[in-house]
Amino acid sequence: MEKDAEIFAMFQTSRFIDIFNALADGIYISDAQGTTIWLNNASENLCGLPKSQLIGQNVTDLEAMGIFNPSVTRLVLESGKTTTTIQLVNKKGKFLVTGHIIPDEAGNPDLIVSHSRDITEAARASSQLEETVALLKRYSEEIQLMKREANQNLSEVVIGNSRSYLALLDLIKKAAVADTTALITGETGVGKSYLAEQIHQLSERCAAPFIHVNCSAIPETLLESELFGYQKGAFTGANHSGKLGLVKMADQGTLFLDEISDLPYHLQSKLLLLLQNKTFMPIGGTKTYTADIRIIAATNANLLELVRQGKFRQDLYYRLNILPINVPALRERKEDIFPLLHHNLKKFNAKHNQKRRFSAEVLDRLHHYEWPGNVRELENLVERIVITSKRDEILITDLPEELRHMGETEDHLLSIDGDLSLNERMEKIELEIITHALKRHKTTRKTAAALGITQSLLMRRIKKYGIALEQVELEL
């Protein structure tokens, strides 16, 4: 303490005291044990306590009180060297603080001098700069997206004016900008593969490859080698020079895994590794390779149900489902049927050099049709009737048989003619509805769900009406 008093006295009598107090930066001096010896007026103002309450206090105690955090003096004493850090003083301002060791004649630490400069405004300006940079980046991405949209007409893929159409259109644009994994779900024929390719074409990866892999179309024994490739001599019959897999071929671009629900279970772990680390190992390989790819997956199956059945990895499902995109069935957006019909009529008229047009009766019939095959069925039907119609005006007689007779049974049952009672009419209508639903949905579980009844109730009705189930899969 005598030495501290001597040092304190020296500062009291020295002209240096006036110099240090004239500085706007803080000067804080401690001894080799971290006890406060002296501080200038700027440090006193920053700490919010008078010098008399600070001098003699150890910096660790002041740090615990929240006067400053962290204590640069403590950091210097712990490291034994000059240290710079960002310090929060009095729980308010941010300061850039540097602590220096002043050695004695023997070279041992004698004093610790800390110099602090207020960077609160600089930090705020830096934060504003980061926000500005982020905003400019977002604007740049939007401008690039608009340019890509000008070259890639999204309306050629997704047609309509319904709310679900507009929401889907907006989601596709967001998915294009967000370079992350996406999972497209929806019934067969809704256009999942078209949408996946459209997302790729609107993304920054548009100049790189778009590799479409149908997981259900490639035999399970070949799928691994097709995806990840193989090394020279990996197995009997392998190409002597090895094979580059589709994953590597999609490097810098997009890998679209269609019918992902059919991916064999033993390959799902390799796909998970690819999603997490962008790495993979070819068959017969001894080291991993990297692939900078974006993965888009698609399925018409309920992956969560497959997870519950133990047929699909739960961790893979959640890794794929980062950006879910559900494509509604055509029957759920009936407002879009007319635009789709006219769009495809124009397209196939041009393709087949025809001038077909729909009659009012045909448009009404097609509007009330449920389109189990969705957009793909509609496209195929329009092309078919453009080719086969006998005249330019497409009539009911030009439609396929199931569409020509659609509604005739219902009209007969609802007619007031005949000897049927109300209960008999209701039973016949119920029979027709159940029979039609079974033919469409193929399984009793899906049929019950579509009709909004329990499976047990459906089975009772099937027994009541004696409906044959040769073509129906029982899912009890």
The strand pair at 83-89 and 289-290 is best described as unpaired
334 burial via Cβ count (<10 Å: 0-12, 13-18, 19+):
middle
Q: Is it the case that residue 367 has pLDDT exceeding 70? A: yes
- Helix or strand (DSSP H, E) at 29: strand 26-31
Residue 382 is predicted with a pLDDT of: 95
Strand partners for 35: 58
DSSP structure class, residue 82? -
Question: Could you tell me which residue, 386 or 443, shows the higher pLDDT?
Answer: 386
Listed range (11-25, 97-111, 277-291) with the worst mean pLDDT? 11-25
Q: Is it the case that residue 419 has pLDDT exceeding 80? A: no
Residue 38 is predicted with a pLDDT of: 87
- The verdict on 312 and 213 lying in the same domain is yes
Percent of the chain exceeding pLDDT 70 equals: 81
Residue 235 lies in domain:
152-326
Q: Is residue 131 part of a domain?
A: no
Classified as helix, coil or strand, 39 is strand
Residue range 390-401, pLDDT digits in tens? 999 999 999 988
- The verdict on 61 and 198 lying in the same domain is no
pLDDT bin (cut points 50, 70, 90) of residue 109 is confident
Q: Is it the case that residue 425 has pLDDT exceeding 60? A: yes
Highest mean pLDDT among 33-47, 216-230, 235-249, 290-304 belongs to: 290-304
Contact 354, 393 (CB under 8 A): no
pLDDT bin (cut points 50, 70, 90) of residue 411 is low
Q: Is residue 265 part of a domain?
A: yes
Q: Is residue 141 part of a domain?
A: no
Contact 432, 413 (CB under 8 A): yes
Question: Could you tell me which residue, 95 or 356, shows the higher pLDDT?
Answer: 356
Strand partners for 461: none
Domain with 12 in it: what CATH number?
Answer: 3.30.450.20
pLDDT bin (cut points 50, 70, 90) of residue 129 is very low
Listed range (53-57, 155-159, 355-359, 437-441) with the worst mean pLDDT? 155-159
Q: Please name the amino acid found at residue 347.
A: K
CA-CA distance, 112 to 397, in Å (whole number)?
A: 99
Question: Torsion angle, CA of 156/159/164/170, rounded to 10 degrees?
Answer: 30
- The verdict on 226 and 320 lying in the same domain is yes
Listed range (40-54, 236-250, 329-343, 369-383) with the worst mean pLDDT? 236-250
CA-CA distance, 409 to 371, in Å (whole number)?
A: 19
Domain with 346 in it: what CATH number?
Answer: 1.10.8.60
Boundary of a domain, candidates 303, 326, 349: 326
Q: Averaged over 219-229, what is the pLDDT?
A: 86
- The verdict on 108 and 175 lying in the same domain is no
Listed in sequence order, the DSSP H helices in 389-465 are 401-404, 408-414, 422-441, 444-451, 455-465
Boundary of a domain, candidates 326, 351, 385: 326
Q: Averaged over 290-316, what is the pLDDT?
A: 93
- The verdict on 273 and 353 lying in the same domain is no
Q: Averaged over 364-393, what is the pLDDT?
A: 92
CA-CA distance, 245 to 219, in Å (whole number)?
A: 15
Boundary of a domain, candidates 326, 341, 356: 326
Q: Is residue 415 part of a domain?
A: no
Q: Averaged over 42-49, what is the pLDDT?
A: 83
Q: Averaged over 246-255, what is the pLDDT?
A: 92
Q: Is residue 125 part of a domain?
A: no
pLDDT bin (cut points 50, 70, 90) of residue 384 is very high
- The verdict on 307 and 447 lying in the same domain is no
How many Å from the N-terminal Cα to the C-terminal Cα in the chain?
Answer: 89
In degrees rounded to 5, what are phi and psi of residue 286?
-120, 0
User: How many separate domains does the chain show?
Assistant: 4
Q: Position of tokens 């403590």?
A: 74
Quote the distance between the C-alpha of residue 217 and its chain's center: 26
Q: Please name the amino acid found at residue 136.
A: L
CA-CA distance, 403 to 362, in Å (whole number)?
A: 9
CA-CA distance, 377 to 379, in Å (whole number)?
A: 5
Residue 287 is predicted with a pLDDT of: 85
- The verdict on 265 and 391 lying in the same domain is no
User: Cα Rg for the chain, rounded, in angstroms?
Assistant: 37
Q: Averaged over 253-280, what is the pLDDT?
A: 92
Q: Is residue 414 part of a domain?
A: no
pLDDT bin (cut points 50, 70, 90) of residue 476 is very low
Residue range 165-219, pLDDT digits in tens? 888 888 998 898 888 999 999 999 998 999 999 899 888 898 899 999 999 888 8
pLDDT bin (cut points 50, 70, 90) of residue 407 is low
Q: Is it the case that residue 123 has pLDDT exceeding 60? A: no
- The verdict on 438 and 398 lying in the same domain is no
- The verdict on 168 and 271 lying in the same domain is yes
Q: Averaged over 33-50, what is the pLDDT?
A: 86
Q: Is it the case that residue 147 has pLDDT exceeding 60? A: no
Q: Averaged over 17-44, what is the pLDDT?
A: 86
- The verdict on 315 and 177 lying in the same domain is yes
pTM: 0.58
- The verdict on 87 and 107 lying in the same domain is yes
3-state helix, strand, coil in the chain (%, to 5): 50, 15, 30
- Helix or strand (DSSP H, E) at 217: none
- The verdict on 169 and 272 lying in the same domain is yes
Listed range (32-46, 345-359, 462-476) with the worst mean pLDDT? 462-476
What does the angle CA 343 – CA 346 – CA 347 come to, to the nearest 5 degrees?
Answer: 85
Residue 389 to residues 84, 330, 345, 384, 403: CA-CA distances in angstroms? 84, 24, 12, 8, 15
Residue 83 is predicted with a pLDDT of: 87
Contact 182, 296 (CB under 8 A): yes
Sign of CA dihedral 366, 370, 372, 375: positive
Q: Is residue 146 part of a domain?
A: no
Q: Is it the case that residue 462 has pLDDT exceeding 70? A: yes
Domain with 174 in it: what CATH number?
Answer: 3.40.50.300
DSSP structure class, residue 144? H
Q: Is residue 137 part of a domain?
A: no
Q: For residue 183, give the nearest of 259, 262, 249 by alpha carbon.
A: 259
Question: Could you tell me which residue, 168 or 426, shows the higher pLDDT?
Answer: 168
Contact 101, 81 (CB under 8 A): yes
